[in-house]
A and B are shown apart, each in its own frame.
Chain A
């Protein structure tokens, strides 16, 4: 089954940028053969092709805040996420990995992205 990671890409806070850069690590780095992504706004507009990808894939959602926008939109589009990660909850485990700003998440933010990548790869499909 295809693996799709969907970030909220929230533009108001650094955590949204972390969700986005985490997705880049999975889809453009060494794991790019296993993971792809779909534009979240495309799911909002009920795009048929994007909905089909979501319905037929193992979906990992990365949200920047407890509003869980990406999860809500994925479910609206018919997807059933196998894992729903909320970035601040991951930060709570290692508070040193705090992102700087939405413009530049900084070294702490990059370490937080790597934490989330590890969670997805090592615990894939088991939301805890």
Chain B
């Protein structure tokens, strides 16, 4: 019986940028609804604040980072404190100016569409990474 590792997903969840919220919502969508049995996560700041064990995360699991803006903090932080991510997703590739303030119900529909697209792409990467492992 062959072993296929779960895929790690690390979201920036950046608080000062709307895209950080999108990264978080898309990551939670994959973890809880789209691929709950194939994925794991870790709080990004644990790489710095945790004991040495947390830093093994991206070495143990092929990891997808999900960033809310072009600063790519989750990808950089994962690479610096753990290991190079297998895939780097950037919400900036899915919406214009993700760090602008989004107000009003009118934007809610647009945001949910972006979250679904990002989540769908994460799920596709999860499937690809797991199939390549076999």
List A residues at the B interface (Cβ < 8 Å). Answer: 6-12, 16, 20, 23, 36-42, 44-45, 47, 67-73, 76, 102-103
Indicate if the CB atoms of B32 and A103 lie closer than 8 Å.
yes
Apart from A10-B43, A11-B13, A37-B15, what 10 extra A-B contacts exist at CB < 8 Å?
A: A6-B15, A9-B20, A9-B43, A11-B24, A20-B13, A39-B14, A39-B15, A39-B16, A41-B77, A44-B45
* Known pairs A10-B43, A76-B48; A47 contacts B13 (CB<8 A): no
- Contact indicator B41/A12 (Cβ below 8 Å): yes
26 A-B pairs within 8 Å (CB atoms) are namely A8-B43, A9-B13, A9-B15, A9-B20, A9-B43, A11-B13, A11-B43, A16-B43, A37-B16, A38-B15, A39-B12, A39-B15, A39-B16, A39-B20, A39-B73, A40-B14, A40-B44, A44-B45, A44-B48, A44-B81, A47-B73, A69-B46, A69-B50, A72-B49, A73-B48, A102-B28
Residues of B at the A interface (CB closer than 8 Å) are 11-17, 20, 24, 27-28, 31-32, 41-50, 71, 73-74, 76-77, 80-81
